[in-house]
Copies of this chain bind each other. A is one copy, B any other.
Amino acid sequence: MTTASICTIGDEILIGQIVDTNSSHLARALGEIGIRADRMVSIADREEDILSTLEAELRRNPIVLTTGGLGPTKDDITKPALTKLSNSPEMVKNEAQEAIVRSILHSRGLDVLESNLMQAMVPSNCEVIPNRFGTAPIMVFRFPEARFGHAATLYAMPGVPHETLGMLPEVIEDIRAHNALEPITHRNLMVYGLAESALAQLIAPWEEALPADMHLAYLPNTLTGIKLRLSVYGGDEKSAESRFSAQIKALKEILGSRIYSEQEDRLEAVIGRLLRERGESLSAAESCTGGEIAHLITTIPGASDYFLGSVTSYAISVKEKVLGVPAETIREKGVVSADVAEAMARGARQLTGSTWAVATTGLAGKEGDGINEGGTVWIAVSGPGGTVSEKRVYHNDRERNIERFSASALDLLRRCILGEIHG
């Protein structure tokens, strides 16, 4: 299997000012085309560190990706270091990048300074992939076998995350074009509502019967559940597709609507698509999740087409006055109860006139309230067919519990919209 090193360059990472999220995205993108990230290294903006690290990594692996250190300020020294590393006799202007630099500055109403134009100057011994999202081009250095004991390629990418991620597909395309990679095909299935161990047990017979060249990975996440990634190494994409289909059909028979998507996806995106297809609308009433459900729903562009709004009812008075939860229900059943969750969902639906409403009431912290232990939540969904509620208990810290509460409420909503659960 082809291997790669990922290097991030920048003092801001080493002093702990920012968390490096680029490396994780790069590793995943490499994995998708069958390249294993072998090492990730973060180093400071210091020439000797950059040179010694890159030489060591190029000796170790045939592909090295760097991000960072390409800005126009004095502390960004990746480009001079790469000029040295590649023994480039001169700097040359890249016309395509210069045009982009001018257009970016123009759109921001800024004058074009000499320091801006310098961004389009690159060492003569590199190829350029123009950066459509910023001023620093991607530089590709191809080293002959004699230099590091094997043919090696270095891709120097900008470190600003939206530029790195925006340009990543073109870098991956260049890597595919220049390397004889074993073809690898993936299919993702998003599963919600099962712990990893329970899922593994449930699908064990199916997993054991998988052909030897088909590989299964479990990728869990608090907000999105478990991504099952099925990979086939070798063969062409078409034959892989037909082989996937049979396996996925069998898996669907076991898991049913626990599979909420066949793409890399989020519950709130799937819910958005369902509501849009049906011309239906949604509202929310949140207590312990404190706005997180509304926040998740509204991170989806175009959510205003189906999301009418929500009430965060932290105080009992707001539950009663705004959502119309009867005072006696709260008194008799307690705030954290099925009846209150259901009354909140009905109240939000009535208040906004939405087709569906989802509600939460619980204890996000570790402390219990004497009746319920910390981490308990009642989630409810109200819709055209009635109102349902379910209880969940999680044992995480406050922020993680809020995420889990929100995700399980969204999943209950999804299953209600699909008609799997009726009030």
Which of B17, B309, B321, B402 meets A299, CB within 8 Å? B402
Question: In the complex where A16-B25, A40-B42 touch, is A303 in contact with B290 (Cβ < 8 A)?
Answer: yes
**A135 interface contact, C-beta 8 A:** no
Q: Across the interface, do B308 and A297 meet the contact criterion of CB distance under 8 Å? A: no
Interchain CB contact under 8 A, B25 and A37: no
Instruction: Check A308–B298 contact: CB distance below 8 A.
Output: no
Q: Is the C-beta of A65 less than 8 angstroms from some C-beta in chain B?
A: no
**How big is the A interface, by class?**
35 or more
Partner of A19, one of B24, B38, B41, B43: B24
Say which one of A139-147, A269-277, A310-318, A408-416 lies at the interface with B. A310-318
**The residue from B293, B307, B322 contacting A314, defined by CB atoms under 8 A apart:** B307
Tell me which residues across on chain B come within 8 A of A43, comparing CB atoms: 39
Distance of A145 from chain B, by nearest CB (Å): 23
Are A315 and B321 interface neighbours, CB within 8 A?
Answer: no
State A41–B312 Cα separation when bound (angstroms): 43
Chain B CB within 10 Å, residue with most, of A25, A40, A43, A53: A40
Given contacts A17-B219, A351-B322, contact A162 B397 (CB under 8 A): yes
In the bound complex, residues from chain B placing their C-beta under 8 Å from that of A402 are 295, 298-299
Residues in A2-61 with C-beta less than 8 Å from chain B? 13-21, 23-29, 31, 36-44, 49, 53
Name A30's closest neighbour in chain B (CB-CB): B16
Which A residues contact B (CB, under 8 angstroms)? 13-21, 23-29, 31, 36-44, 49, 53, 162, 217, 219, 281, 283-284, 286, 290-295, 297-299, 301, 303-304, 307-315, 317-318, 321-322, 351-353, 364-365, 397-399, 402
